[in-house]
Structure 1
Amino acid sequence: MAKYTGPVCRLCRREGAKLYLKGDRCYSDKCSFTERGFAPGQHGAGQTRKKVSEYGIQLREKQKTRRIYGVLERQFHNYFVKADRQKGITGENLLVMLERRLDNVVFRMGLAESRNQARQLVRHGLIRVNGRRVNIPSFLVKAGDAVGVREESKQSPIIKKIAESLGSKQAPIWLEVNAEDMSGKVMRYPTREEIDIPIQEHLIVELYSR
């Protein structure tokens, strides 16, 4: 399966917005987007922006959403199809489904500094759901599911580092977190107002409705 392996800060510059792909670094002065917020391009050519068409605006919104959650094109389209079949507003259904991904839940609980790190923890088998090891980042959690770090993995250097700052992080209200045990519970699904990402999901719906 293909995945992007280049510099992630380049993705933020391409979308013209901070996507917070490096976790805490994105909130610090070391964030390269703060210094070079223009689009990438050789010799600064990316600083010149052309007028964007309606299709281009919709496409960029979709790409931005994909990059925030780390989802590939085909997988993202499949999410949209499922969201469109559900009752309710398609755009909101899509975002709720993306929030339910296991890698995102691990990140939201504070068990990882970024969604990318959360994916690595899941793939390496460090996370359990309802007592069972799950190594699929796209696994969709359900209300009532218990998520946490495997007991055998708590001695890992990377887990110990995360544990030091876990208590100071604030998890969304739809999640319950036990910082001492490095575990939590999905109390319910989030509402649109509780999903704090700068996305205009109606543009994505318009794009796929063409």
Structure 2
Amino acid sequence: MAIDRTPVLKRCRQLGIDPVVMGINKESHRQPKRRRRQESEYGMQLREKQKAKFIYGVLERQFRGYYDKAMKTKGITGDNLMSLLECRLDNVVYRLGFARTRKEARQTVRHGHIMVNGRRVDIPSYQVKAGDVVAVASKAKDLLPIKEAIVASNGKAAPAWLEVDIEKLQGSVLQTPVRNQIDLEIDAQLIVELYSK
């Protein structure tokens, strides 16, 4: 299995992402290098695609699969793509506050600590749907990483398309997210333009 081992802060600096988006409260004190050349249209499109892949922790083949699925779905392709990425189980676990970062959420899911509608699911790319109930498994409720994540996310509200019950350590998907409910600064239209060449 391919793994992206690039240091997170370095990659954030390259792509112009605030590390808080990744769930990391560190700051880099290095000064970004001044770009001498104006970025080309292709360069901007590629950077948006790399940004989306890096934030959601998806590699190229899987990302292309999401794009193909988004194209076949009714509606605006870019919005469909963002919605598909947002409905990944590891992202939902992160958004509910059961993990501090998406990487930690992915590991939590892989280790079988997450239940969807009462069934254990250990596939991070599992697509949740409206009405699904995502909960921490009863054996995992006392795990230190989950407790730390809940303490860290105490003041942070879940997105409008999710409802979370911290006492029961579960959340429900109220609806499929629409583009204006996704708070990431990614221009999905540029990704669509890149793939449609």
TM-score class, shorter: over 0.9
Question: Does residue 1:17 correspond to 2:20, yes or no?
Answer: no
* Residue in 2 that maps onto 1:93: 80
Gaps of 5+ in 2: none
TM-score by length of 2: 0.94
Supply the distance in 1 between the matched residues of 2:141 and 2:127 (Cα, whole angstroms).
23
* Residue in 2 that maps onto 1:31: 27
State the Cα distance separating 1:161 from its structure 2 match. 1.8
Write the letter of the residue equivalent to 1:89. Answer: I
* Residue in 2 that maps onto 1:3: 3
State the Cα distance separating 1:48 from its structure 2 match. 4.2
* Residue in 1 that maps onto 2:62: 75
Identity of aligned residues (%): 52
Output one character per residue of 1:20-50: Cα deviation in whole Å (capped at 9) or x when no partner: 365141xxxx311xx2252xxxxxxx54443
Output one character per residue of 1:161-190: Cα deviation in whole Å (capped at 9) or x when no partner: 223344432001110100111101001011
* Residue in 1 that maps onto 2:161: 174
- Give the secondary-structure state (helix, strand or coil) at the position aligned to 2:20: coil
Supply the distance in 2 between the matched residues of 1:50 and 1:122 (Cα, whole angstroms).
43
Output one character per residue of 1:94-122: Cα deviation in whole Å (capped at 9) or x when no partner: 00000000001011111111111111111
Supply the distance in 1 between the matched residues of 2:135 and 2:170 (Cα, whole angstroms).
4
State the Cα distance separating 1:74 from its structure 2 match. 0.5
How many pairs were matched up?
A: 197
TM-score by length of 1: 0.89
Question: Does residue 1:159 correspond to 2:153, yes or no?
Answer: no
Supply the distance in 2 between the matched residues of 1:17 and 1:166 (Cα, whole angstroms).
20
Q: 1:200 to 1:182 in 2, by over 3 A?
A: same
- Give the secondary-structure state (helix, strand or coil) at the position aligned to 1:20: helix
* Residue in 2 that maps onto 1:63: 50
- Give the secondary-structure state (helix, strand or coil) at the position aligned to 2:171: strand
* Residue in 2 that maps onto 1:119: 106
CA contact (8 A) 1:19 1:68 kept: no
CA-atom RMSD in angstroms:
1.5
CA contact (8 A) 1:13 1:37 kept: no
Supply the distance in 1 between the matched residues of 2:38 and 2:73 (Cα, whole angstroms).
35
Supply the distance in 2 between the matched residues of 1:121 and 1:49 (Cα, whole angstroms).
43
Write the letter of the residue equivalent to 2:10. Answer: R
State the Cα distance separating 1:14 from its structure 2 match. 1.1
CA contact (8 A) 1:127 1:147 kept: yes
Supply the distance in 2 between the matched residues of 1:81 and 1:92 (Cα, whole angstroms).
13
- Give the secondary-structure state (helix, strand or coil) at the position aligned to 1:164: helix
CA contact (8 A) 2:134 2:171 kept: yes
Gaps of 5+ in 1: 39-45
State the Cα distance separating 1:157 from its structure 2 match. 1.5
